[in-house]
Amino acid sequence: MTRGTRPRRRTAALALAFASVAVLLTACTAEEQTPGDPGKPVQTPGDPGEPVPGTLRVLASSELADMTTVWAQVERETGIKVRPTYTGTLDAVDLLAEGRAKGKFDALWLSSNDYLRLRPEAARQIVSETPVMSSPVAIGVKPGTVRELGWKPDDVTWSDIDEAVTGGKLTYGMTDPSRSNSGFSTLISVASGLSGAQSALTDADVEKATPKLKEFFKGQQLTSGSSGWLAQAYDRRGDVDALLNYESVLKARKDLTVIRPRDGVVTADYPLSSLASTGQEVRDDVRRLTEALRTPTIQRLITDSTMRRPVVASVAPAAGLDSGRRRELPFPGSRSVADGLLDAYDNELRRPSRTVYVLDTSGSMKGDRLDRLKTALTELTSEFRDREEVTLMPFGSEVKSVRTHVVRPEDPRAGLDGIRADTRRLSASGDTAIYTSLQEAYERLGAVDRDTFTSVVLMTDGENTAGAGPEDFDGFYARLTGHQRDIPVFPILFGDSDRAELEHIADLTGGRLFDARRGSLDGAFEEIRGYQ
């Protein structure tokens, strides 16, 4: 791996993903209204709509969905309506850098602008930024685990957490740093704490901390593209000890002891920013909105309803938020360090992924649909990480073939070329044996390797018409033992597939439904990457 460059395979994947970000950004869908709700299908960003006087089209971090009560109050007081479009922080930065936000959005409201400032082409797209609230990174630990470790929450350091993890006494879940600012902020906090860096992380600090970080991330049992699904997976598993996330997310739960490590954390400050592409009237509305959000009354509403911390000194944090100060860890001072840290996480530090792609190549996929599948899979190869195991399992009336490839660090091209070659050979024929194929995917995976993130991705364009039925699969799944029951299925709605059928599969296995009918198939595959 080369430090100081954009992660080598992510570059192409992101360019492709953000070329279709108009599909990935929808303004008024159910997913937007409740993006943290694990029961909703993930839909990929659409056109946020035409400009409307008095309405601000805001490109926002997905966790801001809990601000609807606040926005309603601000609208009553100012007449300004917020129309949010939710996305990941790093995704939004790339959108700005590509110039694709011009004319589509009036304001930017991310959890942090730190990464944006490392991208000059993105930073030039904003002309103001004002913090509205804050939330530090924290770790939420089961109270019983805290007692077993003998921890006093106010005294815990990152080294204490690392010692518990490497000693096999603490496991945790966290969101994917490549797609979630909470995950990225956590990664920076851990790297800073374990490297002993006294200022902003450098490449040398990351290199120094890498051996410890490798051991630390062996304790990560859950990954996710969203905090909502992470919490759902945590509850479902029951055998994971902790969650790493923003304090506000963890404080919303009553079953965790929330700890801010004493040696420092990164804090999100949620700046509301005007875009350079807007006119003075829109900027005046953004200023009025910002001023309203920083009044004592609204600051009190924010902290009480979201458990984030107020930025106005006269307003005390909500009950349950301690007022003790913690060292604020600086964000990396250069993009090379930030991207190098992401690259290290993906290709060296985290557990490798192991995924079976169960792909409908029945007769109904003939023509344009099969072409779209081949294009999406070919583009997805740019996203696969070092050490990743990818199995392609195309099916029609039965499973047609099973081909497994490993992206080996010493020769990643061989594995990627193999995936592309198998993708080109896909052909459409037969009926649609969804449940028989899923059963074979589970049997193929066999005993789960606890050192991998294991999952199944199901893409189908129709209803089940052959082989086992839903009741058969329910019975099959009920008979699975041990950690095989922890393998989630991530179905993709496509073509004429049955939403109820795929939702049931996702709910049964602890997965999540992704919607490619409103968006793009390549966008759906890309979104799933945050969960693998």
H-only helix segments in 150-202: 158-166, 181-195
Kindly report the pTM of this predicted structure: 0.85
Question: With b meaning 16 or more CB within 10 Å and e meaning fewer, what string describes 404-431?
Answer: bbbbeeeebeebbebbeebbeebebebb
Residue from 26, 19, 14 nearest 104 by CA:
26
Domains and CATH numbers, the chain: 10-134+270-310 (3.40.190.10), 135-267 (3.40.190.10), 352-531 (3.40.50.410)
The answer to whether 225 and 176 have CB atoms below 8 angstroms apart is yes
76: buried, middle or exposed (CB in 10 Å: 19+, 13-18, 0-12)?
exposed
Question: Is the pLDDT assigned to residue 38 strictly greater than 50?
Answer: no
Tokens of 305: 């309803």
Q: Which residue has the tokens 């082989």?
A: 467
193-250 confidence digits (pLDDT tens): 999 887 889 999 999 899 999 999 999 999 998 888 899 999 999 999 999 999 999 9
Q: What is the mean pLDDT of residues 85-92?
A: 83
Residues in the chain: 532
Q: Mark residue 4 as left, alpha or beta (left: phi above 0; alpha: psi -120 to 50; beta: remaining).
A: left
Residue 18 three-state SS:
helix
What pLDDT is stored for residue 16 in this prediction?
A: 30
Question: Is the pLDDT assigned to residue 18 strictly greater than 70?
Answer: no
| Distance from C-alpha of 217 to C-alpha of 452, rounded to nearest angstrom | 11
| Distance from C-alpha of 464 to C-alpha of 460, rounded to nearest angstrom | 9
| Distance from C-alpha of 152 to C-alpha of 168, rounded to nearest angstrom | 19
Residue 293 three-state SS:
helix
Q: What is the mean pLDDT of residues 102-128?
A: 93
Tokens of 317: 């944090």
Q: How far is CA 227 from the centre of its chain?
A: 7
Task: Collect all residues with Cβ–Cβ distance below 8 Å to 211 and sequence separation of at least 6.
Answer: none
| Distance from C-alpha of 210 to C-alpha of 195, rounded to nearest angstrom | 8
Q: How many angstroms separate the most distant Cα atoms in the chain?
A: 68
437-486 confidence digits (pLDDT tens): 999 999 999 876 668 999 999 999 999 999 999 999 999 999 998 889 99
% residues pLDDT > 90 (the chain): 74
